[in-house]
Structures are given as structure tokens and as C-alpha cells.
A = this chain, B = another copy of it.
Amino acid sequence: MAAAAGVSVATASRALNDTGRMTDETRERVKQVAAELGFRPNAMARGLLSKRSFTIGLLTNDTYGRFTLPVMAGISEALVDRGVSVFLCAIEDDATLAKVHVDAMLDKQVDGIIASGKRVDRRLPVDLSKAPVPVVYAFTDGPDDSVTFVSDDAQGSREAVEWLAGCGRKRIVHITGPESFASVHVRAEAYRAVVGEQAEIYYGKWTEAWGHEAVARLWDGAAIPPDGIFCGNDQIARGVVDALRERGVTVPGDVSVVGFDNWEIVAAATRPPLTTVDMNLRALGREAGLTVLALAEGERVEPGIRRLPCQLVVRQSCGGSAPT
């Protein structure tokens, strides 16, 4: 580059990297010239030598981006200023496609890979266990000896149910998704732990339609309907709230409802807006990003599952006031 601008490439390199010893004057001059010329060191050449690409790959099967985008945002946020960029690869449960993507990333010498997904209890259709670079799992299942980040659904659920109780609700039921989901169990058990004996759990689908149906069952049945409902996700919650309104039951007047996910598009559009559990996916991404990077730099990281706390986002579907 600006070796032409007075010094040898070696000096230039040292000046720009703040290494080596030299007159401040020389260093400054080089930087000056570099800036004027808009010089950018070629990361490939640099990487060839340093064995680091300052690049990581994010693999996901969450095509819709519901979970991956916040995670991605967190990763990116944590790593931009360290100069690392991230490859996003959406592999929709297609093993072949996944392999193609992983190979492409590996060829490009990514410093690490973060595997993510749409379901905590499912694996991506690729075996990353013998990848030549560090791998961390975020919001997807990983091998036993891996480092995995997930949200603490139990804690989140507990807070949700306790909030409902704190609003004075006496008969709190749980309307949730399919029993085949691990997160359904975790959330249900946390719910059960709080309400005890009188736990009532209704399993169904992750849809608004199921929310409607569940309300129909509860209110058309002989029993006294509940006054508090903890829903497995925001879509169900929205269905529940809509169904309630349609039968003249007021929320939060007669019944308090809490959702799960804090998916803006549904939580904020519900009337009234949903009080719901946020999984802090962005923070999760941040941790995951920092962790692969640490691993890439040779640090040792204890394998295991790390559960990051969820946070209750209070809106208006429960009455009650702002969070403590």
C-alpha cells in the first residue's frame, strides 16, 4: 500500500497495527497516509497468516426467523466491534442443504459455528460434533458435551403464574401446545409447581384456533370457568383473549391472561395487549457469540446447558401494575 508513501511494508504494517517500536511521528504519518488513501488491509491475506477469519457461521432451521432473528441480532451486536461478521445459513431441515452450507462455511475458515433452531428439543440435520472449529448451540439441542444456551422457561413460567396469582387470580389454568414439545412440559411443570393440586392443563396446538377452542370447552362446560389463564405461547393467548371478548368476558376485568414469547406482532396487536414472557433471545445470542469467540481464541469453556433468565413483559392483559 502506502509503502509508496515513505516506508516499507513492514513498517506500515506495524504502524497500522500498533505493534513494534517506532517514532510516534512515523506511526502517525503512516496512519495519516493510509486514511487518505482509504487503505483497507485485506482480511484474507491477514487471515491466511493468522489462521483467523473473523467470521462465524449461524446455522438455523427456523426459516421464519421467529427465534433466529433476535438471536442473530444479539450475536451480531456482541461481535461487530470485535470485527467479526456472521454468515447466516437457513437450512430448512434439509440434511443435504445443511451439509452444503456447513462445507461452504468451513471452506471459508469460519472461526466457529453457532447452531440455532426453532425448537429446543430437536437437533439440526447435521452432525457438527466433529467440525474442525468450535460449535455452540443456541436454542436448539446439542450433544451432551457441548455448550448450549437456552432460555429458562421454568423460571419464566413461574414468574408468569405467580404474576397471575399476584393479580388475585384463584383458579388459574394452563392452555398450551402439543405434548410432544419439551418446552411444553417444562412450562407445564413450572405451572404445576406453583398452583399445586388444582393444576389444569390443556394440551393442543400452537395456534389461535386452539385458543378459541379451549375457551369454548372451558366456558361451555359445567364447571366454573377460570379467572386466570397462562398460555403456552402468544398465539394461543391471542386466540383466548379474542374468544373471551366474543363471549362478553372481559380481559383483564373478569379474567387475566399471560402469553409466552413476546412476539410483538401478536402480543402488541392483541386487545388488550398481552402481558407475556420474553425469552431474551437477544441476550442469548450475545452470550452464544461471545462464547464461540472465546472458544475460537483457545479459551476453555465448561460444557453444559446454560439457562438464561426470561423476563415478564407487563402489558394490559392481566390488570395489575408495572413490574416490581
CB distance from A263 to the nearest CB of B (A): 8
| Cβ-neighbour of A72 out of B41, B88, B100, B109 (below 8 A) | B88
A80 on the B face (CB < 8 A):
yes
B residues in contact with A85, CB < 8 Å:
57, 87, 89, 101, 104-105, 108
Complex CA gap A208/B242 in Å reads 13
| A65-87 contacts to B (CB < 8 Å) | 65, 69, 72-73, 76, 80-81, 83-87
| Cβ-neighbour of A44 out of B48, B90, B264 (below 8 A) | B48
With A69-B64, A88-B88, A269-B235 in contact, is A43–B107 under 8 Å at CB?
yes
**Are the C-beta atoms of B90 and A73 separated by less than 8 Å?**
yes
B residues in contact with A146, CB < 8 Å:
none
B residues in contact with A73, CB < 8 Å:
63, 90
B residues in contact with A47, CB < 8 Å:
44
A308 on the B face (CB < 8 A):
no
A10 on the B face (CB < 8 A):
no
Provide the A215-254 mask, 1 if CB < 8 A to any CB of B, else 0: 0000000000000000000010000001000100000000
| Cβ-neighbour of A45 out of B41, B48, B81, B90 (below 8 A) | B48
| A7-54 contacts to B (CB < 8 Å) | 40-45, 47-48, 53-54
Q: List 12 A-B contacts (CB under 8 A).
A: A44-B108, A44-B109, A45-B48, A64-B69, A64-B264, A83-B107, A85-B87, A85-B101, A86-B88, A208-B269, A265-B265, A265-B266
